[in-house]
Chain A
């Protein structure tokens, strides 16, 4: 019988390695309802905790009366700040170097702040207990408007630090001031503005919004008094960081804390931080000796854990009359809410906002960010974003459009004229970054071609003329955005979280039969790591992806890592995978040389094994080498085939993209229609195009939501007026536009496989693109900058303000 020898193509295909549209392994359980999310964790004797929350945005808490609550059937305990003080946990450190009340200590500083934690036998009894706790308040003046925070007579919010005029990021100049952070050269920038031919100056605000993954934040804490061990299941994007923080706070030795992040129902930055619910559940478990579950409801999620953005960016561009930018000056008023709980690398109080020079060659720039306190929820998380890069991209992409409008230049032409050119990479930006690689002109030209840019502008000109003649009530906007991201935090020389360097890790064990397991320091929340990481390994060491299991989220088995956010998984952990795989390959090569009786240098890699150069029939597959590694290793070589890599990236990666949006707006109703949205992304090497496209679709949908209505809004006394899915805009399949995707490939030169990360690009680039489309639609009627979000009502208001309603 003839056994067909597989062709090279067949061997290659069998691996399902990088570049292949591999179907996801996660889907097998998710499509059958067999995912394992935190609320699915059920332990014997498990109790349930629920919060009493503040009705006021700013008030003194005069009295908390729990006597009625303790009589409610099923209620076992009511934990307050007084309880937590006995274990020194009434306050907790934030990731940003501030402190935050776990439970209200004398006063409340935002609506729905946690006041007491009711522990009961089930969630219904806990809710009954919450209803029965009586809180006596004395209300205080409320500060909502960020622009009034630093007024001399502004209410004092943080009494705990009123005499501490130096914070984690330097001096504070007012009781509501957190930090001032500046970058760039002020004198050179001022000089460039002084002699500039054309300048623009606009306050460009990026409103407060919320990541709102479909699964809220939740945990189960279980303390074993006999062993002195704590196990916590939780919605953690960074499980190891949670373990370290839990150890530092609780004084439980770190090896006795087991943190497990099971399947996570979306994160988008919401699940990076540590929240009062986690601390309270842990304390409650220690106090009661039983497992305690805490599950946030949606209103709590939207109003208390981790808003995003809330940046007011005064943006100035200087340019020559013929359209060459000469300087950028930005001042940001950053509203951090009641506590500075931003989830940024510790040395970066405004994250990587200094990427705000964008894709353009600004000779000089200067940036100042002032962080301030208000009576709003703490947070400032990177909502599908690498630490304020979304705000930076919005700021520069709006400002570039405004300058183009002032110069009377086409917005695309203005961008092409100012792009960093291909030969300038690695490019050193005026605000301190080294962009790794890029080819902006190629991407922009491809995108313009694909959307038929010239024809669109011609059509727009005709429509504008028709509108002015009164023949139509519809106006047409063409939105452009060309963004450069900075992702993959990050190099230990400048990136850490509370002192923990932001490397990431991978451990690969190849079993004797040639199957393998890879364990990671990151944690997927839908990104499909179990699928894509296996593809990297498959290509690197020639084991079929189907024979590789990827495991994340168990701090006992995974190597230490900093988790998944800021598009860092592929740039950092993806590199760790390649490096670990290459260690394995190097050992396999030694074994192959021994088995084939040749020198190592006489071997070459061939898809799934090594062969002797010039003698392709003399070869050993990785599967054979794995068996030999355990059972007949060369003399002097220890058995086994496994490797660990901790990867400290030499630089960030800089994905980029060109997005175009075509929008039609009815000026009488404010109703807009997204006629077309085209997104070209360059994320370097593409590991799984299917997953990339999926991430782009999802990120664009979130960008659409944010730009067109998704806002956390407060009234003048600090009430959240849209704190549920009733009012907070989450697009359904009906509103969501259809997406066209495209790509170019400019690999990262410093990354082992050239990949840059993609998950956040569509959010970063999408928001300015939608907003620019709305602004572009109205520009011919004399508008200059229309603030987001652009819901129907606000668009209608713009039209009304322009006198279009007669």
Chain B
């Protein structure tokens, strides 16, 4: 079984770098061999949503919506990423948030 862990928190809440430091957790989970992949995501203000063939800014509008899966894609820029997202079958009835990774 595999799991996706969505790390959620309020962006407005300020925490110290020590509190927010994921390194000890990563070290432990990797030492035990349970962590396959993971990355920090940019804030929701950097997200784009495509819905019913349209492009809008921001994250999912309806909080009712649950994340049902994820794909990691590598593209030249946001326009290419949007093109790929629009081709996904879910884009016609659900929505897909295109969320950039922080650079390495």
Q: A and B, one complex?
A: no
